[in-house]
């Protein structure tokens, strides 16, 4: 689906965000805000956001990794190691609502632009949001964090993997994405509070904190029973049957959450005696005897078409679905109806999952090339054409350049 900017001004229209982030957590956050109408100015270092090189695949020199989380932003570049670039940033912050960055702790302070050091007094209404690895304080405060490292340190890998197998990294950068969501949520909270107090504040979301907060229900279980959880493959530690099951065609994921759903499921499969079987009468019983239950269900499921049985069960209120590959996900009627793939020219990306009835968000501009909007942003900030030429000639600001794929 193609989306026009005029059709979707967005709930955040009029909010201006200066985005100094790179890689994933920060850019994912600012793309969410940009999708819903915020004016996002993405400022990259002279070397560019490194995810522009994280490929293949590439399009026109930029990797899909970068393209996937950097739409609805104006791309410019500055060298903040130079005082003139920092003064330029101050000018951009004069009418900004939010500054988002993911510099290593202490970097901005070293440049004289830390929040408590400078920004709070100079821009009292500014919301300064930081995406960090471990937070600004504590034994690991200020250390650099990467998604996979935090998946290990925060315990996510310890509960992910096959039963009896080694810890396994989740196949998506779940910690980075969750931290981006948490940062966006924190910014929205601060904007709402600013509407009451008139004051900005510092917002921080760290990968480590976000990783720990993703541990439900394993952390909740441990805090209650003090038993270290193990790996259970696709099975749920608290619910059964709640697992991936092979069928005659495609695997299905079955998520039976209560006794009513269990009874409907058994009737649909023609195994009514399992409803009254005392080994499976309640969820507690089914969890205790999950292997015996699976052994009885699997021969029946082996005779069924996964797509058909999943559709019937879902229609009858039993959560179940086929396990699909990405081409099937993209072509799925629900994906299409919910506009979860958007496109404009050669650009395609996932649609916004946040649906607002009156002020819907969407695709307003495709991801820009390095430095594409530098001149336009500086001109809007009041710099003359000659001044902009000088800033670029002096290596303070950077315009577009060709990048090899």
Q: What is the pTM of this model?
A: 0.93
pLDDT confidence of residue 379: 97
Contacts of 143 (CB under 8 A, 6+ apart): 133, 134
pLDDT confidence of residue 403: 31
Structure token digits, residue 176: 């980075």
pLDDT confidence of residue 280: 97
Closest-CA residue to 85 (of 64, 108, 103, 63): 108
For the residues of 27-87, what is the DSSP string, one character each? HHHHHHHHHTT-EEEEEE-TT--GGGGS-SSEETTEEHHHHTT--S-EEEEE-TTSHHHHH
Exactly one of 35, 176, 209, 243 is catalytic; name it: 176
pLDDT confidence of residue 9: 82
H helix runs in 248-325, sequence order: 259-269, 273-276, 283-288, 290-301, 306-315
Closest-CA residue to 377 (of 399, 362, 394, 395): 399
Structure token digits, residue 399: 């315009």
Q: Which residues of 215-234 are buried (b: 16+ CB within 10 A; e: fewer)?
A: beebbebeeeeeeebebbee
Angle between helices 25-35 and 174-197 (to 10 degrees): 50
For the residues of 146-183, what is the DSSP string, one character each? -HHHHHHHTTTGGG-SSTTS-----SS-HHHHHHHHHH
Q: In which residue are the tokens 């336009």 written?
A: 376
Largest CA distance in the chain: 84
Active site annotation includes 243: no
Q: Where are the domains of the chain?
A: 5-214+334-398, 252-322
Domain 5-214+334-398, classified CATH 3.40.50.800, yes or no = no
- DSSP three-state, residue 274: helix
Closest-CA residue to 103 (of 150, 53, 44, 54): 44
Strand ranges in 187-297 using DSSP code E only, listed in sequence order: 202-206, 242-245, 252-255
End-to-end Cα separation, the chain, in angstroms: 27
Structure token digits, residue 150: 């935090």
For 112-117, the CB contacts below 8 A with 24+ separation are: 112/86, 113/80, 113/86, 113/89, 115/202, 116/202
Angle between helices 259-269 and 290-301 (to 10 degrees): 30
pLDDT confidence of residue 82: 96
The CATH fold assigned to 252-322 is formyl-coa transferase, domain 3 (3.30.1540)
Per-block mean pLDDT, blocks of 10 residues, the chain (405 long): 59 97 97 98 97 96 97 98 96 98 92 95 98 94 93 97 95 97 98 98 98 97 96 95 97 97 97 97 97 97 97 97 97 96 95 95 95 97 97 96 46
**Cα separation values, 252 from 282, 314, 320, Å:** 22, 12, 7
pLDDT confidence of residue 8: 63
């Amino acid at each position: 689906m193609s989306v026009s900017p005029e059709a979707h001004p967005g709930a955040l229209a009029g909010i201006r965000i200066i985005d100094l982030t790179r890689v994933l957590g920060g850019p994912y956050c600012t793309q969410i805000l940009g999708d819903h109408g915020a004016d996002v100015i993405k400022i990259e270092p002279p070397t560019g956001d490194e995810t522009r090189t994280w490929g293949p695949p590439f399009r026109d020199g930029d990797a899909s990794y970068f393209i996937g989380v950097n739409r609805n932003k104006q791309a410019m570049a500055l060298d903040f190691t130079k005082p003139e670039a920092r003064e330029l940033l101050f000018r951009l912050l004069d009418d900004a609502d939010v500054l988002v960055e993911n510099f290593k702790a202490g970097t901005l302070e070293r440049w004289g632009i830390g929040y408590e050091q400078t920004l709070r007094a100079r821009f009292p209404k500014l919301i300064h949001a930081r995406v960090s690895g471990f937070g600004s304080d504590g034994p690991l405060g200020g250390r650099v964090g990467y998604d996979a490292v935090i998946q290990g340190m925060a315990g996510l890998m310890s509960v992910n993997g096959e039963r009896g197998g080694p810890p396994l990294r989740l196949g998506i950068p779940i910690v980075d994405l969750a931290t981006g969501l948490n940062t966006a949520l924190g910014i929205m909270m601060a904007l709402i509070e600013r509407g009451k107090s008139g004051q900005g504040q510092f917002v921080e979301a760290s990968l480590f904190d976000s990783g720990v907060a993703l541990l439900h229900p394993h952390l909740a279980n441990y805090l209650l029973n003090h038993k270290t959880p193990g790996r259970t493959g696709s099975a749920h530690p608290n619910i059964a049957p709640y697992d991936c099951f092979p069928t005659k065609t495609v695997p299905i994921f079955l998520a039976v959450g209560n006794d009513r759903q269990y009874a409907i499921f058994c009737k649909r499969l023609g195994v009514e005696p399992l409803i009254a079987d005392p080994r499976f009468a309640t969820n507690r019983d089914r969890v205790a005897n999950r292997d015996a239950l699976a052994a009885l269900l699997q021969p029946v499921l082996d005779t069924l078409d996964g797509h058909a049985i999943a559709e019937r069960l879902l229609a009858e209120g039993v959560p179940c679905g086929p396990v699909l590959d990405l081409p099937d996900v993209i072509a799925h009627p629900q994906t299409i109806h919910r506009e979860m793939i958007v496109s404009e020219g050669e650009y395609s990306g996932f649609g916004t999952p946040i649906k607002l009835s009156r002020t819907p968000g969407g695709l307003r501009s495709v991801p820009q090339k390095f430095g594409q909007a530098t001149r336009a942003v500086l001109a809007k900030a009041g710099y003359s054409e000659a001044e902009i030429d000088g800033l670029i000639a002096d290596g303070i600001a950077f315009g577009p350049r060709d990048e090899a794929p």
